[in-house]
Amino acid sequence: MKKFKKTVSMLKFKEPILILKLKKSIAALNFRKSISLKIIGIVSLAIILVMLLVGGIIYFITYNKMLDMSKENMKILSQEISDNFDSLILIQTSDVGKTTSDIDVNKVALENASNTKEVFQKNYGGDVEKLRNNLKQYAALNKYNENIFVTDKNGLVITCSNDGFLRFDLSNNDYIQQALTGKSVMSSVYTSVISIKPVVTFVQSIKDDKGNIIGLVGKNIFTDYFSSKLDNFKFLNSGYAFIVDGSQNTIYSPIKRDINKKVDIKPIYNLSKDKKFLGSKNSKEIEYNYDGKKYFSNSTSIHELNAMVVLTVGQNEIERAPKAIGTVIIILSLMLIIVITLSLNVIIRKIFEPMNLLIKNTHEISKGNLTVINEIKSKDEVGKLTLSFNNMTLDLKNLLIEIKNTIKGLIHINSIVKSAQQDTVTGMEIINKSTENISKDTMKMFNAVEWSFNSFSKIKDKLLNIKDQSGKVLEEATKIREINKRGIYTIDELKNVNIESNMRMNDASDSFKKLNDNLKNITNIVGAVTNISKQTHILSLNASIEAGRYGEIGRGFNVVAIEIKKLSQNIFLQMNKIEEIVESLNLDMYSAEEKIQNARQVTLSQSQFVKNTIDNYNNMLNSTEGIVNYIDEVDKSIEDLNDKNDSMYEKLNEVKEACEDFNESIEAVKQVVVEQCDGTKNMNNIIDKMGKNTENIVVSINKFTV
């Protein structure tokens, strides 16, 4: 269906010159004034549409059949190319098989397998040289032979036709390892290390009389051997074939710069990665875009080469033949349309000749001549139309007579209506003025109500503002009351602290008195100890004197007297210090006692001040309670007033709405009155025009000849 639409759109832009000329001829005809031309046009259009539909269907079917045929031919050619590859592979496999049966080949392989490397090279070098020359001659017979070689049973080259491959170790290659198992093997495409060209290797084993493998025979073939026949191959005009291997490399293409490069067509690239497709005999159609152009292709796998041959051709090329056939069909259809249209023109004009006379008499009647009578020559549709035309002419005569009589009465009625209309216009003007006065009074009343409404709205807003402010004041007064209560509680706590402090001051004063008495006792004890120290000192002097009197015998006693003297001196010194400390404590105690007395006085004064503060807070609290109660009463009064204002507001709103409705009604009445007044004035003009038209009808009727 898409292809059919494309064909139709293509026809719109590629119209033949003959159609353009036909369009100009049709445009020159006046279809609006000719029934015959209309019939010709409708029938021609129907034929054109039918022919275009039939031609489009034929083109669509032919296009698809030929396109499918071309695609099928591509598939067949791809398979033939693949089959040709199979034949070439069989030929090479057979050639390698013949080489394995060669006497010289078997002799050298057997000699190599039966002797050591040194013995073989020393004793059988001539046989190896002879075989090399034979292989070179055989390889020269085919330009696609890169190398023919013979290896030992380990895959090491013994001799070959291409000296570049001498002593190559091929044992690591998969195809050599498979051939050493006794299979006939063909490698996949790979690049030769000598020629740097893509090649394929055929390998078969050499067996002795007992069936043991003693060596291999192989042949390297350039891939050009398979693709050379494709160089001159073309499908249609621009179609060609190329080969892609399993590594996505282009191993053959007529476009030489693409060889040994990765294929850059994404669908082909993806298909060449499909091992399942390349591993067996498969074929697949692919449509792809390349360099802004659309291509059709058919890909056929060559599983022996692990490659596929791709036959491709441009969409324009494969669609050229179907489009050419479609163009021929369209041209034939247009020629047939032109012939049928011209024939219809002649036939329909002949049929419509009696109509021309009828048209001529119709022109006479339009000029006022009602005495014309058409002659009836046939009983077909044209004859019936002529009879109807004559009857119509007679009826027109009678109708004109009746119209003349009716117009006379209409002129009399028109004069009466005109007089009554003048009275109506005068009454409507009075009503219009009264309506305008009522509208002005209503507007004044509406403005007064509107002013009252706005005033009450402002009062309501102010009351709401006062209520908000009183609420805030009430809230602040409540906060102040709470703060006063907390202040009284805090001052009570301070009063208790002062009482406690005063008690603690009294206890401290008593303690200082007891401490003072103890210090006096300590002073007495220090005096007694000092007297004891003085007496001990005197005793030590007396002991020293007595010790001196007794010489050596009293020396020990003298030592004791000296120590007692030192002890009494130390005690005397320490007692002096203790006395100084006690005197200092007495002074400090006296000072502390004075400060405690002062603190007691301050505490007593503070207690009195706290008591006064408590009295003030109580007075403030009572005042705050009074303010809160007063504000609460004011708030309730404002709420009552606000409720009354709301009620008054609603009443005024109802009055306002009533005024608006009344005003709208007055405006509607005024508008109706104005329109009625204008209509009444217009009626005068209509009546005048009616009179003039009646006169014109009389003049026009008098022109007819009855």
* 348 plus 419 within the same structural domain: no
Q: Is 332 domain-assigned?
A: yes
Percent of the chain whose pLDDT exceeds 90:
8
* 180 plus 113 within the same structural domain: yes
Mean pLDDT to the nearest integer, 446-458: 68
Taking a C-beta distance cutoff of 8 angstroms, is the pair 51, 333 a contact? yes
Q: Is 81 domain-assigned?
A: no
The tokens describing 48, both together, are: 């054109």
For residue 158, pLDDT over 70 is answered with yes
Calpha distance 443→672 (Å, rounded): 18
Q: Is 467 domain-assigned?
A: yes
pLDDT at 625: 72
| Per-residue pLDDT tens digits for 511-563 | 767 777 776 777 777 677 777 767 776 776 776 777 677 666 666 666 666 77
The tokens describing 434, both together, are: 């009264």
Taking a C-beta distance cutoff of 8 angstroms, is the pair 324, 244 a contact? no
For 47-78, the DSSP string reads: HHHHHHHHHHHHHHHHHHHHHHHHHHHHHHHH
φ, ψ for residue 240, nearest 5 deg: -150, 170
* 58 plus 121 within the same structural domain: no
Domain region containing 419: 397-701
Question: Residue 8's pLDDT band (boundaries 50, 70, 90)?
Answer: very low
Q: Is 384 domain-assigned?
A: no
Calpha distance 544→559 (Å, rounded): 8
Q: Is 79 domain-assigned?
A: no
Q: Is 118 domain-assigned?
A: yes
- Find which of 76-85, 483-492, 493-502 is predicted with most confidence, using mean pLDDT: 76-85
What stretches of 187-227 adopt beta strand conformation (E)? Answer: 190-191, 198-207, 213-222
* 303 plus 335 within the same structural domain: no
* 516 plus 561 within the same structural domain: yes
* 505 plus 525 within the same structural domain: yes
Q: What burial class does residue 221 get, using C-beta atoms within 10 Å of its C-beta: 0-12 exposed, 13-18 middle, 19+ buried?
A: buried
For residue 84, pLDDT over 80 is answered with yes
pLDDT at 15: 46
Reference 478, options 342, 281, 621, 343; nearest CA is: 621
Calpha distance 233→294 (Å, rounded): 21
Q: What burial class does residue 591 get, using C-beta atoms within 10 Å of its C-beta: 0-12 exposed, 13-18 middle, 19+ buried?
A: exposed
Number of domains in the chain: 3
* 13 plus 108 within the same structural domain: no
pLDDT at 446: 67
* 458 plus 565 within the same structural domain: yes
Q: Is 90 domain-assigned?
A: no
What lies within 8 Å, CB to CB, of 175 at 6+ separation is: 185, 186, 187, 201, 203
* 300 plus 430 within the same structural domain: no
pLDDT at 512: 67
Output the average pLDDT for the chain.
76
* 617 plus 505 within the same structural domain: yes
Q: Is 93 domain-assigned?
A: no
The tokens describing 195, both together, are: 């020629």
Running DSSP on this structure, what letter comes out for residue 189? P
Reference 202, options 217, 182, 219, 178; nearest CA is: 219
Question: Residue 259's pLDDT band (boundaries 50, 70, 90)?
Answer: confident
* 283 plus 417 within the same structural domain: no
Residue 111: which CATH number?
A: 3.30.450.20
Task: Among 357, 385, 420, give the residue marking a domain's end.
Answer: 357
Calpha distance 407→164 (Å, rounded): 129
* 8 plus 144 within the same structural domain: no
DSSP H helices in 29-147: 35-100, 103-114, 117-123, 125-140
Residue 651: which CATH number?
A: 1.10.287.950
Question: Residue 377's pLDDT band (boundaries 50, 70, 90)?
Answer: low
Quick one: angle between helices 125-140 and 103-114, nearest 10?
A: 140
Provide the 10 A C-beta neighbour count for residue 413. Answer: 11
